[in-house]
Amino acid sequence: MPAFVIVGGGLAAASAAEELRAQGLDGAVTVIAGESHEPYIRPPLSKEVLLGTAEADTAFVHERGWYPEHDIELLTADAATRLDPPGRTVELASGRTISYDELLLATGARARRLEVPGADLPGVHVLRTLEDSEALREALRDGGKRVVTIGGGWIGLEVTAAAATYGNDVTVVMRGEIALASALGDDLGRFFQSRHEAHGVRFVTGANATRLTGEDRVTGVDTDTGEHLAADVVVVGIGAIPNTRLAEEAALDVDDGVLADAALRTSDEHIRAAGDVANAWHPVLERRLRSEHWANAIEQGKAAARSLLGQDVSYDEVPYFYTDQYDIGMEYAGYFPLARDADVLYRGDRESGEFIAFWLRNDAVVAGMNVNVWDVNDDIKELVRSGRRIDRARLADPDVALGDV
């Protein structure tokens, strides 16, 4: 019976393990997890867990006992340190060596750190793990602090929303001129930024942090625009770096993630990749895509499991993600590389805070985002997936059901 090994204890790993069993696999499954926890999901770490409205243990993917009940060996706090594709073995930090027939790399990503003087001072936070979220919650929850968020992307803004909600005085320092503009375009970026400004958040735009000041702990941030911002807490949210070291050292093809085909097969036929670490060929987009999102970790993890079992897989999911900031809940489904520079059409009034935005190319919907409008994301995904030309007037008309556009 072939042995299956999954390296990485995040959501993609957990989904793959679950799918292997759901597909009826009886043989050995081992999950090698570098963190000391069972696999957990990260979205609540910048939302409910950070805000203290949910306990950390609600983030675990499976209930306690699920792994032994499904005869899956879960090794926590024991990272894989070396992968030997010709010998089909993995070495672990504990010194153990495990043999495999088929292996999944789901090592995810880590928070990018600032590389400026003072970046290691106490009081400077990143947010990737449960421990990061708990430490940040401790730092923010009493309010009344001067908080500087470096980075105006999704995680930076979710942390900013939590920090402001706790009653802290928050400034965002960011490179671009408008928050989220590179993801959503200027108008929708302004929509999000204005919601933060309404909560008293200040934005320092077109600026890079050049130095974090302080001796025993951080006291401020210097920028290349000449500002000095006093700070009690600094949060660095400048993106994530895929964990590719194992793959690189094993001479797999790597380029902004582990390269994989549409079946999620890497340059070694017995190794698949899924989740944040995978830069996989997308058959609809006809290009590689590394999607750092929750839904991708779930679906790609499952697809990789089926591929490991020898099933015919062509992973072509429409990318999906969501965010919650203050009273804004939004879901986005679509091909974000195609949405850049596409026309934007609105259904509903942006100012009301309840609307859907569609990105169109040649009258086909390439992406859609519902903001405080619910139960429409499946229809949006279907519009994107179909690639069909639509009538713009009907798409904009809230009285026409999306399925009938």
- Provide the binding-site residues for ligand FAD, judged by CB under 6 A: 7-13, 32-35, 42-43, 45-46, 79-80, 106-109, 127-128, 155, 243, 246, 275-276, 292-295, 297, 321-323
In what side-by-side order are the strands of the sheet with 97-99?
A: 80-84, 89-92, 97-99
Fill in the amino acid letter for 166.
Answer: Y
Least distance between ligand FAD and beta carbon 330 (Å): 10
Q: Which is nearer to ligand FAD, 11 or 201 (CB)?
A: 11
Least distance between ligand FAD and beta carbon 109 (Å): 5
- Return the structure tokens found at 115: 């590389």
CA angle 332, 336, 339 (to 5 degrees): 100
Name all contacts of 44-47 with Cβ < 8 Å and 24+ positions apart. Answer: 45/127, 45/128, 45/129, 45/130, 45/132, 45/133, 46/127, 46/133, 46/155, 46/158, 46/159, 46/162, 47/158, 47/162, 47/324
Q: Which is nearer to ligand FAD, 90 or 313 (CB)?
A: 90
* Secondary structure class of 403 (helix, strand, coil): helix
Least distance between ligand FAD and beta carbon 326 (Å): 14
Q: Which is nearer to ligand FAD, 9 or 185 (CB)?
A: 9
Q: Which is nearer to ligand FAD, 207 or 303 (CB)?
A: 303
- Return the structure tokens found at 284: 């609809």
Q: Which is nearer to ligand FAD, 220 or 275 (CB)?
A: 275
| Beta carbons of 81 and 92 less than 8 angstroms apart | yes
Q: Which is nearer to ligand FAD, 240 or 364 (CB)?
A: 240
- Return the structure tokens found at 76: 């926590």
**Would you mind telling me the total number of residues written for the chain in this entry?**
405
Least distance between ligand FAD and beta carbon 350 (Å): 21
| Beta carbons of 16 and 6 less than 8 angstroms apart | yes
Phi/psi for 9 (5° steps) reads -110, 40
| Beta carbons of 62 and 70 less than 8 angstroms apart | no
| Beta carbons of 172 and 202 less than 8 angstroms apart | yes
- Return the structure tokens found at 256: 């902004």
Q: Which is nearer to ligand FAD, 32 or 218 (CB)?
A: 32
Count of Cβ atoms closer than 10 Å to residue 146 Cβ? 16
Q: Which is nearer to ligand FAD, 32 or 263 (CB)?
A: 32
Least distance between ligand FAD and beta carbon 84 (Å): 14
Fill in the amino acid letter for 49.
Answer: V
Least distance between ligand FAD and beta carbon 246 (Å): 5
Least distance between ligand FAD and beta carbon 296 (Å): 6
CA distance 83 to 35: 18
- Return the structure tokens found at 205: 């735009």
CA distance 245 to 243: 6
Least distance between ligand FAD and beta carbon 322 (Å): 5
Q: Which is nearer to ligand FAD, 15 or 223 (CB)?
A: 15
| Beta carbons of 145 and 177 less than 8 angstroms apart | no
